[in-house]
Amino acid sequence: MKIQRFSRIGFIMAAAGSAVGLGNIWKFPYMTGVYGGGAFVLVYLVTIAFIGFSVMVAEMLIGALGRSDTVSSFEKLAPPGKKWWKYAGFMGFNGIIIMTFYSVVIGWIFYYLVSIFGGLPDSTQTAKSIFNDLVANKVNLQIFFHTLSVAIVAYIVHKGIKSGIEKINLILMPSLMLILFGLLAYAFSLDGFKEALAFMFEPKWEKLNSEAFIRAVGHSFFTLSLGMGAIMTYAASLPKDTSITKTAFIVTFMDTLIALVAGLVIFSFLFQFNAQPSQGPGLVFISLPTILSNFGTLGVFFALLFFLALAFAGITSAISLVEPVVQYLIDRFGMTRTKAVIVISLVYWLVGIGAILSYSKAWGDVFSIGGKPLFDVLEYATDSILLPLGGFLIAIFVGYVLPKSEVRAHLNNPNEFKAILYKIWLFSIRYIAPIALIFMMLNLMGIIKL
């Protein structure tokens, strides 16, 4: 079966859509402020260059050379006697595990998009009660929006590379950037903008501790959607004359820029009314809606734009999480794309219902493992173990297993890296990235304490 090809701009938007997710908006800005502002940004840029960007180039290289699903790509490229490396390709299933709870979060966003028209909460306590009630008591409503999320993603992936994934990213990614830059333009006029600027970029070296370095390493890796086969699968459909390194740089730049812009927008609104910054669901579902209520009708409009941006970021990431396993079922089992999408969607839809029930009052105890909600168990397994492990395997495979002559032939040339940059990248992928990822994984698992 002939693989459809992205256009170059289509791949950039699809890869950027994969990278730009909810973490860019509700995690990175807060981390920047807490761990030293400009000092953290500097550390982050270094880590994204030596770890995030390096592993992205390696993952794209495997995909561009393998031209298949993740398992088949490893199998094709592994030297004779080392075909067991195909099992590393099962990192492509990490995305489906993530989708079991990521789709639920996208469902929450859809719920808030609808509820905005009923007005915004006027106090943090009210906002917290609304969110807690949704999660603990409104199971059927969550399942409805979770199902809607699954259906939208399934329809897009079902349409294929050109008509589905590329087409939707060419619409949603520019729309996402237009919304965020439009909100940034308004944020310039707020008194809180200066405080947001200081919170995120003023160097606070005293806050730059060992934990900050671990967080920088982790986010530089996670934010680019590495270790789950998404970038690898997309790269299998790259035009053959595309520069891997230049494309990886553009995607990395776009991802970082959007995270910084989102942070300035969010904290400008928060500091305008002396609110305390937070991260995660507490930021977008509790703090921000409450603050925006102070703007009256304009606040409702801003909330609508913001949650639309969140929805776009969630959907573009979600389709990249599903595509690797769909391509695997097509390549390895000869399934039609429609059948593969239905099978995979049913799997993570069902497990997602379990994740929803694990947070509910009525079913929480039943859908818990070791006293922890299934939602949290799935999130921990991917963030702390599976994704760092996937990135480690990519670095080892390209750094030590893939023939050096083949790596050099594709990356050590004027269209890719210049000689000195190639040597820096090779050192990074062989030594810096693997060591950092293993150390980060051990830290997240609690084996190494900071």
For the segment 67-118, what is each residue's pLDDT rounded down to a tens digit?
A: 999 999 999 999 999 999 999 999 999 999 999 999 999 999 999 999 999 9
| pLDDT for the residue 450 | 62
Domain-located, residue 449: no
Q: Which residues pair with 373 in a beta bridge?
A: 368
Decide if 59 contacts 259 (C-beta within 8 A): no
**Alpha helices of 334-432 — where are they, by DSSP H?**
337-358, 374-380, 387-396, 404-411, 419-427
CATH number at residue 54: 1.10.4160
Q: What is the pLDDT of residues 197-255, one digit of tens each?
A: 998 899 999 988 888 888 888 888 888 989 999 999 999 998 888 899 999 999 999 99
* 450/443 Cα distance (integer angstroms): 8
Decide if 320 contacts 18 (C-beta within 8 A): yes
Domain-located, residue 101: yes
Residue 39 CB partners (closer than 8 Å, separation 6+)? 203, 204, 205, 207, 208, 212
Decide if 310 contacts 110 (C-beta within 8 A): no
Domain-located, residue 2: no
Q: Which residues pair with 368 in a beta bridge?
A: 373
| pLDDT for the residue 3 | 57
Domain residues for the domain of 416 are 8-444
* 442/450 Cα distance (integer angstroms): 11
Residue 421 CB partners (closer than 8 Å, separation 6+)? none
Three-state DSSP at 138 gives coil
Residue 322 CB partners (closer than 8 Å, separation 6+)? 95, 96, 99, 153, 154, 157, 341, 344, 345, 348
The total number of structural domains in the chain stands at 1
* 315/110 Cα distance (integer angstroms): 11
Count CA within 13 A, CB hemisphere, residue 288: 27
| pLDDT for the residue 219 | 85
Nearest residue to 87 via CA among 344, 334, 390, 379:
390
The C-alpha angle with vertex 279 and arms to 277 and 284, in degrees rounded to 5, equals: 90
| pLDDT for the residue 1 | 46
Residue in the structure block whose two tokens are 């790596």: 407
Nearest residue to 359 via CA among 348, 375, 381:
375
Identify the segments of the chain with pLDDT beneath 50. Answer: 1
Is the four-CA dihedral 129, 130, 133, 134 of positive or negative sign? Answer: negative
